[in-house]
Amino acid sequence: MSLFVTQGIMRIACVCLLLLSATVLSQNVNERYRKFIEQHINGKMSVNRCDEEIGLRRISKTNSNECKETNTFIRATTNIVKSICGLAGAPYERNGQLTRSLQPFDIVVCTLRNQGARQPRCQYRGQSRTRIIAIKCEQGFPVHFDGDIVHLDH
């Protein structure tokens, strides 16, 4: 085989590898975005529905049936929250590369009342707040809720 043919085959292999990597990364982001939506977005959430929503959505500590200490629901649509990863957000450094919303959001913070409990016995106390929120974005999609911000850093 000539050097020219070998180089051509290597280029094709590299292009195929890059396309495959991009596809895998894109699928991973899509899965993380779907999980973010399931765990954190509910436009009609109320402080009295924490137990029900967390149970229905099977939200727990990662890879266990232990009750999650806190879970925050954002009262907005997926498109409005997604816009934080674009023009409706600004870089926010804390625990890695994050983005903060430019506008406050109505949120419901559900805090576990019965520490150490396991599903389905999780009992939460809901609290309504209006806060700037900090999220992690990947490829223009929110994939992690980091927290709410009481006072903006100047």
Q: pLDDT (tens digit, 9 = 90+) per residue, 141-154? A: 999 999 998 754 44
Q: Respond yes or no: is residue 151 known to be catalytic.
A: no
Give me the catalytic one of 33, 39, 40, 110.
40
pLDDT less than 70: residues of the chain: 1-27, 94-96, 151-154
Give me the catalytic one of 57, 75, 129, 144.
144
Question: Residue ranges per domain, the chain?
Answer: 3-149
Write down the pLDDT at residue 68. 95
Q: Respond yes or no: is residue 144 known to be catalytic.
A: yes
Q: What are phi and psi of 86, to 5 degrees?
A: -120, -125
- Burial environment of residue 100 by CB neighbours within 10 A (0 to 12, 13 to 18, 19 or more): buried
**95: closest CA among 147, 23, 153?**
147
Write down the pLDDT at residue 96. 57
Third-level CATH fold of 3-149: P-30 Protein (3.10.130)
Take residue 22 and report the two structure tokens written for it. 């991009």
